[in-house]
Amino acid sequence: MRHVAIQRHHDPLTALLQPDRLTAVVDIGANPIDGDAPYKAMLQGRICRVTGFDPHPQALARLNAAKSDLETYLPHAVGDGETHTLNICRGLGFASLLQPDARVLTHFPNFSELGRVLERVPLPTRRLDAIEEIDALDLLKIDIQGSELSVFRSGRAKLAKAVAIQTEVSFVPLYEKQPVFGEVDLELRSLGFIPHMFAAINKKMIAPMLGPNPGAAFNQLVEADVVYVRDFIAAEAMDDEQLKHLALIAHHCYGSFDLALNCVHHLATRKAVPPDAKNRYVALLQVRPPQARNQSL
C-alpha cells in the first residue's frame, strides 16, 4: 500500500477527523472533457490520492503530463474482464464499448454525426476487483458511456468499503443494449448505496426542432451524473474510517455539509473524534467565504 503523509494543518476538517490515510479516489474514464473533477479541491489540498484509468493514448498522455505525485494514471479499460470492441466516434464524448443506436441518435440534433463510428478497435477490459493497483477505494467517479453497470458488477469486493460513487446514468439510451438509470440504481442500492444528489443533468433538444444553437435544450432528460453515498440511515454499518472519508468527500467534493455533519455526529457518539467535534465543524463552516456560506447554510 502506498503511504502518503497527511498534512493535517492544511485542512481543518482533516485535522478534526484525523483519518488513518488519504482519501482514495478511483476515476474510471479520467479524461476531464466535462470540466474539473469533483475531487479537485481535495487533490489541491493534498488530502486525497487518485488512481485513474483511460485507455485512450492521447488522453492518458495529457493526464500524465499534468499529474502531481498524488496521481497515478493507467491505460486499462475497466469492464467485465472480456475483450470488447471500442467504437471510436466523431464526437470525442461518444466513444464507447457499446454500439451507438442510430435510430435513437436521429432524435437529437447533430447526434447522428457525433455518434458516427470512425474506427472499431478490439479492447481487452479488466475487472475492477482484479486491479491490484487499487489498494483502497473511498470515492469512485465513473463515466464510460454506458458500461458503468458492468464495472459495478465486476467490482463488488472493491466497492464493499467505498462510501461514494459518482456515475453517469442514462434516461434515453444512446447505445444499443445500454443499461438505463433504473438498472444502475437497483445495482447500487444492492451494494448499500442510496442516491444523494445530481452533480449534472444533461437535457437535449428533440429533433426536428433546430435553432441557432443545436446544443440548446428544452426538457428532455438524456443523461445525468448522479452521486450515490453509502446509506447514512444505517450508519452503524460503517466503520469509523468510512465515516471520516464520507465526511471529507461530502464536504470537499459536493458541499453536502449536512451529510458531513451527520458523519461527525456519529463519530462523536462513538468517541472516535473529540466530543465537541460537531460544534467545531459548524464553526468551521462559519469561516467559509460568504458566497459558499450563503449557498449551503
For residues 94 and 100, the answer to whether their CB atoms sit within 8 Å is yes
**Complete DSSP assignment for 72-125:** EEE-PEEESSSEEEEEEESSGGG-BSSPB-HHHHTTSTTHHHHT-EEEEEEEEE
**What number of CA atoms fall less than 13 Å from residue 14's CA on the CB side?**
18
Pick 8-287's CATH classification: 3.30.70.3340, 3.90.330.10, 3.40.50.150, 1.10.3720.10: 3.40.50.150
**Residue keyed to cell 435544450:** 217
3 state DSSP class of 24: strand
> What's the DSSP call for residue 234?
G
The residues with which 229 forms a beta bridge, in sequence order, are 164, 194
Give the chain's end-to-end CA distance (angstroms, integer): 38
Residue that wins the pLDDT comparison between 215 and 120? 120
Whether residue 64 has pLDDT greater than 90: yes
Residue 281 CB-density burial (10 A; 0-12 exposed, 13-18 middle, 19+ buried): buried
Q: What is the pLDDT of residue 289?
A: 57
- Comparing C-alpha atoms, which of 237, 224, 156, 165 is closest to residue 194? 165
Residue 47 CB-density burial (10 A; 0-12 exposed, 13-18 middle, 19+ buried): buried
Give the pLDDT band of residue 212 (cuts 50, 70, 90).
confident
Whether residue 3 has pLDDT greater than 50: no
Whether residue 87 has pLDDT greater than 70: yes
Whether residue 85 has pLDDT greater than 90: yes
Mean pLDDT of the chain: 92
Whether residue 39 has pLDDT greater than 90: yes
For residues 141 and 228, the answer to whether their CB atoms sit within 8 Å is no
Question: Please, what is the angle between helix 277-286 and helix 257-269, to 10°?
Answer: 160
CA gap 260, 5 in Å, rounded:
23
Whether residue 9 has pLDDT greater than 60: no
CA gap 279, 293 in Å, rounded:
16
Provide, rounded to the nearest whole percent, the portion of the chain with pLDDT above 90. 82
Q: What is the pLDDT of residue 288?
A: 67
Can you give the residue ranges of every domain in the chain?
8-287
**Residue keyed to cell 464526437:** 91
CA gap 85, 66 in Å, rounded:
29
CA gap 14, 283 in Å, rounded:
15
